[in-house]
Amino acid sequence: MGNTTITVIGRILNAICSFIYIPWTVQTIGLSGFGQMLLVISYCMLVSDITHLHSWQPLLHFGTASFKEKDNRSFYQILAFCMRSDFISGLTGMCMGLVGIMLFSHTMGWPDNICHVAELAAITILFMNRGWPVGVMWLLNKFKVSTTIELMGTLTRTIGSFIGYEMGYGFGFFLGTWCVAQLVLFVLYNGFGAYLVRQNVAAYFPWRELFLPTLRIKGIWKLTIGASLNEILVSFYKQISTLLIGAWIGAADAAVFRVASQITNAIAKPATMLIPTIYPEFIRFRDERNWKDFRHTMLRLMGTIGGLSIAVLVISLCFGSSILDYMLHHHSERGGVLISILAFSALLDVATVPLEPLLTVMGKVYSVMRIKMTAIFIYIPALLLLTKFMGIWGAALAAVLASLIVFFWCAIRASRVFARVYRSDIPPAPPAKPDPA
C-alpha cells in the first residue's frame, strides 16, 4: 500500500470519527456551548501554530544526507536542534496563550465562566508541537505509524465525547477531552519517534548535544524560520476567522462556520496529505536535476486535484446542507451553498499543495511567505468588511479571495521556476558543419 493511500485512508477514518463526536457534543452542551468550545480550541490552535517552528522540514532537508551516509554525529546534531526548537516554541506558545486569555478574553467575546477553563486548556499548547518525531517518521518512510497515531488521537476524543454524551457532562469535560487527545498524540509521537531513532541509528543519542550544541548548521535557522512563517500565515487566516465571527456575531454562528469549514476540509483533506509524500520526492528530483520527471509528477498531481475538485463541488452542492444539519442538529438556511463556497476555497488551497513544496525545495520559501503575508493583509480587511454586511457568508467569500491570491501567484511563480531550469539545462547546439563544396 502506497504512502499516499495510507494517509488518505487515515484522513477518511479521522473524518468519519469527527462526524460521530461532533453531533454528540452539540446534543449534550448545545450549539452555543459547542461554539464556545470551538472558540477556545481555535484560540489554542492559533497560538500553537503561530509559535510553532516546523522542525520536520530542517530534519528532512539537512538530515536526509547524513542519515543515508550513516554520519550519526551530524544526524544527531540536526535532530537535537529540532527537539530544542519544538520545546522552545511549545513553551513560548503556552506563555503567550495564557497571557492572551488574561488580556483579551473579553475582547474576543468570551463569557467569564469559560475563561478559567480556557486558561487550563492553554497549558496544552506546550504539548502540541510534534515536529521532530513527524520528521523522523517521514524520513524513515513510516507513514503507517504517523497515520495510526493520528487515528488514536481521534479515537481518544471520540470515546471521551461518547462518555460525556452518555453521562450528560458539560462544557469543561468536552474541552478536557480535546486536551487529553492532544496529550495522547504528544506521548505517542515522541515515544515512537525515539523508538524509531534507536532502531535505525547505531549510536546512542548524545543528550549533551540537546542542551549544549557543538555545531552551528549553516542555513538551518533560515530554512526553519522561513518554512515556519509560511505555515504560520496559513494557520493565521484559517483560525482567525472563527475567533472574529465569535467576537462579532456570536458563538453559535462561529460554530456553524467552523463546522461547515470542517466538512469541506474533510472532503478535500486527503489531497493535502500529499505534502509529506511529495516533499522528499521533490528534493530527490532537484538533487538529481531530473526536471522531466519533476514536471511530469507535477502535471499528474494537478490533474488528480482537478478531478477531485469536480467531485467535491458536486458532493457539497448535493449533500452539504444535509450533512451540516445532521452534525449541528440545527437547520441552516442555504447550508449547501455556504459549504460549496467554502469548498471552493479549500480546493484552491488543495491546488496550491504541490506548488508550495516545489517553491520551497527550489529556494523560494521566502517568496511564498511574502505572498501569503500579502494575502493576509488583503484578507483581514475583506473579512472585517464582508462579515459586517454579510455575516458568515462574507467570511466564506473572504476565504475564497485569499485562496485565489495565493494560488494564482504560486502557479505563476512555479511556471517561471520550471521555465528557468529548463533553459539552464538545454545543452548548447553543436557547431554547424560547413557545407560541402
Q: Which of 79-83, 153-157, 173-177, 291-295 has the lowest mean pLDDT?
A: 291-295
Higher pLDDT, 121 or 77: 121
Q: Which of 239, 248, 256, 257 is nearest to 107 (CA)?
A: 248
Q: Which of 124-128, 178-182, 412-416 has the lowest mean pLDDT?
A: 412-416
Q: What is the CA radius of gyration of the chain?
A: 23
Q: How far apart are CA 243 and CA 261, in angstroms?
A: 14
Is 350 within 8 Å of 305 (Cβ atoms)? yes
Does the structure show a pLDDT above 90 at 2?
Answer: no
Is 74 within 8 Å of 139 (Cβ atoms)? no
Q: What is the pLDDT of residue 431?
A: 45
The C-alpha cell that represents 384 in the structure block = 472585517
Give the domain ranges of the chain: 1-217, 246-423
Higher pLDDT, 264 or 34: 34
Q: How confident is the model at residue 200 (pLDDT cuts 50, 70, 90)?
A: confident
* pLDDT tens-digit series, residues 393-428: 888 899 899 889 988 888 888 788 777 766 655 544
Q: How confident is the model at residue 301 (pLDDT cuts 50, 70, 90)?
A: confident
The C-alpha cell that represents 427 in the structure block = 545543452
Q: How far apart are CA 39 and CA 45, in angstroms?
A: 10
Q: Which of 96-105, 189-198, 328-337, 387-396 has the lowest mean pLDDT?
A: 328-337
Q: What is the pLDDT of residue 325?
A: 81
Does the structure show a pLDDT above 70 at 162?
Answer: yes
* pLDDT tens-digit series, residues 129-150: 888 898 898 888 887 888 889 8
Q: What is the pLDDT of residue 174?
A: 96
Q: How far apart are CA 183 and CA 179, in angstroms?
A: 6
Q: Which amino acid is at 372?
A: K
Is 275 within 8 Å of 227 (Cβ atoms)? no
Is 284 within 8 Å of 68 (Cβ atoms)? no
The DSSP line for 117-182 is: HHHHHHGGGGG---HHHHHHHHHTT-HHHHHHHHHHHHHHHHHHHHHHHHHT--HHHHHHHHHHHH
Q: What is the pLDDT of residue 437?
A: 41
Q: What is the pLDDT of residue 140?
A: 86
Q: What is the DSSP letter of 202?
A: S
Q: How confident is the model at residue 430 (pLDDT cuts 50, 70, 90)?
A: very low
Q: How far apart are CA 68 and CA 65, in angstroms?
A: 5
Higher pLDDT, 232 or 182: 182
Q: How confident is the model at residue 5 (pLDDT cuts 50, 70, 90)?
A: low
Burial class (CB in 10 A: 0-12, 13-18, 19+), 297: middle
Does the structure show a pLDDT above 50 at 117?
Answer: yes
Is 293 within 8 Å of 285 (Cβ atoms)? yes
Q: Which of 21-25, 137-141, 369-373 has the lowest mean pLDDT?
A: 369-373
Q: How far apart are CA 275 and CA 277, in angstroms?
A: 5
- H, E, C per residue of 82-123: HHHHHHHHHHHHHHHHHHHHHHHCCCCCCCHHHHHHHHHHHH
Specify the DSSP element, H or E, that contains 359: helix 355-361
